[in-house]
Amino acid sequence: MGKKTVFSGVQPSGALTIGNYIGAIKRWVPLQEKYDCYYSIVDQHAITVPQEAKDLRKNTLDIIALLMACGIDPKKSTLFIQSHVTEHAELAWVLNSITYMGQLNRMTQFKDKSKRSDENLNAALFTYPVLMAADILLYKTDLVPVGDDQKQHLELARDLAERFNSRYSDTFTVPEPLIDKSGARIMSLQDPTVKMSKSDSDENAYILILDDEAAIKRKIKRAVTDSVGEIAYSDDQPGIKNLINIYSNFSGDTVEDIVQRYKGRGYGDFKKDLEEVVVEALRPIRESFEEIRSDKSYLEEVYREGAKEASYSAMKVLRKVHKKIGFIPR
């Protein structure tokens, strides 16, 4: 049979962090060789929290260019903007009708984000996981590479696929998560008990993929550690553990090797080397980004072509869904 299908998405809700890179994008690249990959800039997800129109526009284009700079090749993968493929919102509406309020009430991302917001909450933030299920199910996705924080949302997508299939007849593929243990959750540099997030209000909490050398060094210097004074990979030292994870992911060295190498040495030494590792790993990405981002007509060509390809598959699945639930074909 044909290749398996991979789908993943990233929100243009800000500039991407090394958490996004390690937990998601870096892992998307090798998948292109083996699978039919769909990678989407999910702008409809981003508006579940307030966005300035001009920032959203800029972030969306930045992220397309950045994904390419990180190695996503539009000739191998379908790279597109979610709102260009209207079937996502349409399928989400259908899936809303078989989703239970109780299921959405249990979503921890909703609970977290609603706690953080002091404004009136919008309904889209609540139904966000249903739109995510629609993204995935529209392409008969087999595998979804995401960070650990998305596990619960993926469970919902699986559940909705099964529910629809048993209520009507076999329609959707039940997707599997692809979660990599070591990079699954990069934590905030300022509070290693919460995940590194591009929407954090403290810019020292994250490193952006496009941060310059000075910013990277400054943020690593300021990263919270502890008073133990020993480089160990332990839950009792979450700050150091997180920095070791970052080191390991960017250098390719194993955690054991790193711990061994820094035995008996101080945090200062370790941080200095980590600065170099991160700066050197991100340098080529930043350089290639500048080049791609400045060619607007190329970017346009990429996302237009991506939308065309994605629409073709999405339309077929949505048509089938509409037919099964009793909508009259046009």
Question: 237: Cβ–Cβ under 8 A, 6 or more apart, which residues?
Answer: 225, 226, 228, 230
> Contact between 186 and ligand ATP (CB under 6 A)?
yes
Q: Which one of residues 5, 7, 15, 23 is an interface residue with ligand ATP (CB under 6 A)?
A: 23
Q: Which stretch binds ligand ATP (CB under 6 A): 9-17, 254-262, 273-281, 314-322?
A: 9-17
Shortest distance, CB of residue 42 to ligand ATP, whole angstroms? 7
The site partner of 175 among ligand ATP, ligand LTN, none (C-beta below 5 to 8 Å per kind) is: none
d(CA 105, CA 154): 15
d(CA 108, CA 126): 11
Identify the three-state secondary structure at position 309.
helix
Q: Annotated catalytic, 54?
A: no
Shortest distance, CB of residue 24 to ligand ATP, whole angstroms? 4
Closest residue (Cβ) to ligand ATP? 23
Q: Annotated catalytic, 217?
A: no
The site partner of 23 among ligand ATP, ligand LTN, none (C-beta below 5 to 8 Å per kind) is: ligand ATP
Q: Which of 26, 198, 241, 271 is catalytic?
A: 198
d(CA 285, CA 320): 41
- Residues present in the chain in total: 330
d(CA 254, CA 68): 27
d(CA 90, CA 265): 57
Two tokens, residue 96: 């809303």
Shortest distance, CB of residue 144 to ligand LTN, whole angstroms? 5
Q: Which of 3, 58, 140, 195 is catalytic?
A: 195
Closest residue (Cβ) to ligand LTN? 9
Two tokens, residue 132: 């995510």
> Contact between 199 and ligand ATP (CB under 6 A)?
yes
The site partner of 198 among ligand ATP, ligand LTN, none (C-beta below 5 to 8 Å per kind) is: ligand ATP
Distance of CA 250 to the CA centre of its chain: 18
Active site residues: 113, 195, 198
